[in-house]
Amino acid sequence: MIKPHGADELRPLFVEDAARRRTLLEEAETLPHLLLNSAAAANAVMLGAGYFSPLKGYMNVSDAIRVAMEMHDNNGLFWPVPCLNMSADAGVINGAGRIALRDPNVAGQPVIAIQNVTSVETLSAEQVKLITEKVFGALDQDHPGVATFTSLGNQVIAGPIEVLNYSYFERDFPDTFRTAPQIRAEIAANGWEKVVAFQTRNPMHRAHEELCKMALEAVDADGVLIHMLLGKLKQGDIPAEVRDAAIRKMVELYFPENTVMVTGYGFDMLYAGPREAVLHAVFRQNAGCSHLIVGRDHAGVGSYYGPFDAQAVFREQVPEGALEIKIFEADHTAFSKKLNRVVMMRDAPDHAREDFVLLSGTKVREMLAAGQPLPAEFARAEVARILMEYYQQSTAGDKV
């Protein structure tokens, strides 16, 4: 199986020993507490779950700027997006060297991790701007990732952490949330060597289904990891539990048995386009996948990125040998009326736009909310039914 990123062994920061966790929770009661924002809490989950391996904790300002500028830290580790614990008020920890981190996303704000504080620094306005522009390629506050990042505060609390739980993800998604070690173990149990990963924050329609099958065949893989983001999204995106149900129904009915793993990970969407695509590759390499599908507008939002910028970044900015995982470059995929099947649009140069079944996201949402069936060429009926029920309930709720 493919090696983890940056090390021979995966280095998840979750404290596996139950007695050690109890000791740390008792210690937490004696430590200064810091209430994390959702972004820092998501970073803690990813550190604990091994997706951020081999990082040992939150970065300091120097490492964050180096990562933003050059995609590697001061020790030379290739890394595409700073992993930070940012706060608007670090004064609450009173200069302590060891602190308890509280989870903002769970009732009662329980302790999610213990951090050894190696530094507390202030990001200047110029440094915030630099990191924002390098990571997101934008400074526009209408960009959801930019708006979130620039609202987190300018105090950077660096240092290694020990993670005590996976926030709400294990509780809310017990059948779907999986850590990187758990996925590696399942891949090994399946006897798979080559595994293609498909990243999604949306439900999967016919085009996504066929894209996974195309990639599976093209790289001669043993299986597909459908790996969905379970954390916070922008307003208007479909909730994780609805996506989960729709994807599982599609896999159950339309994929050969024992060829797909449906899993999820606990992270908030960044909408950082190319940089986030590279981070997605790190996640999947750590989870044991040999290939990642990167398609049109991967991790994008609005018109902030070119349609294939997330593919170009791997060719133009990721150094040779920085990652072992390979990228399967996919074009926009749609149903061809001429060929009566789903194709990559680049493979049908003789087609005009009207030769494909193409629906905008807005049109799809309008049809589902109105109870109108989606074309069979666009979506499986069983999947569309799950989505339709969600949109109709949401619309009914808006009218109450």
User: What DSSP line would sit under 212-280, residue for residue?
Assistant: HHHHHHHTT-SEEEEEEE-S---TTSPPHHHHHHHHHHHHHHHS-TTSEEEEEE-------THHHHHHH
Q: Which of 21, 202, 296, 385 is catalytic?
A: 202
pLDDT digit string (tens) for 103-125? 999 999 999 999 999 999 999 99
Looking at residue 399, its pLDDT comes to: 41
Looking at residue 394, its pLDDT comes to: 73
Looking at residue 361, its pLDDT comes to: 67
Looking at residue 216, its pLDDT comes to: 96
Same domain, 279 and 183: yes
Same domain, 178 and 44: no
Q: Among the three residues 112, 146, 167, which one is the final residue of a domain in this structure?
A: 167
Q: How far apart are CA 96 and CA 110, in angstroms?
A: 19
Q: What is the dihedral of CA 303, 309, 310, 312, to 10 degrees?
A: 180
Q: Which residues contact 303 (CB under 8 A, 6 or more apart)?
A: none
Q: Do strands 291-294 and 195-200 pair parallel, antiparallel, or not at all (unpaired)?
A: parallel
Same domain, 123 and 177: no
Q: Which two three-digit tokens encode residue 27? A: 């210690």
Q: What is the dihedral of CA 360, 361, 362, 367, to 10 degrees?
A: 90
Q: Among the three residues 121, 137, 167, which one is the final residue of a domain in this structure?
A: 167
Does the pLDDT of residue 241 top 60, yes or no?
yes
Q: What would you report as the CA-atom Rg of the chain, rounded to the nearest whole angstrom?
A: 21
Same domain, 181 and 326: yes
Average pLDDT over residues 29-52: 98
- Bridge partners of 157, per DSSP, are 120
For residue 259, give its domain range.
173-265+273-399
Q: Is 201 a catalytic residue?
A: yes
CATH number, residue 234: 3.40.50.620
Same domain, 193 and 160: no
Looking at residue 236, its pLDDT comes to: 72
Instruction: Provide the whole-model pTM.
Output: 0.94
Same domain, 332 and 189: yes
Helix, strand or coil, per DSSP, at residue 113: strand
Q: Which of 201, 248, 296, 385 is catalytic?
A: 201
Q: Is 98 a catalytic residue?
A: no
Does the pLDDT of residue 202 top 90, yes or no?
no
Tell me, yes or no, whether 361 lies in a domain.
Answer: yes
Same domain, 145 and 198: no
Q: What is the dihedral of CA 267, 268, 271, 277, to 10 degrees?
A: 0
Q: Among the three residues 147, 167, 187, which one is the final residue of a domain in this structure?
A: 167
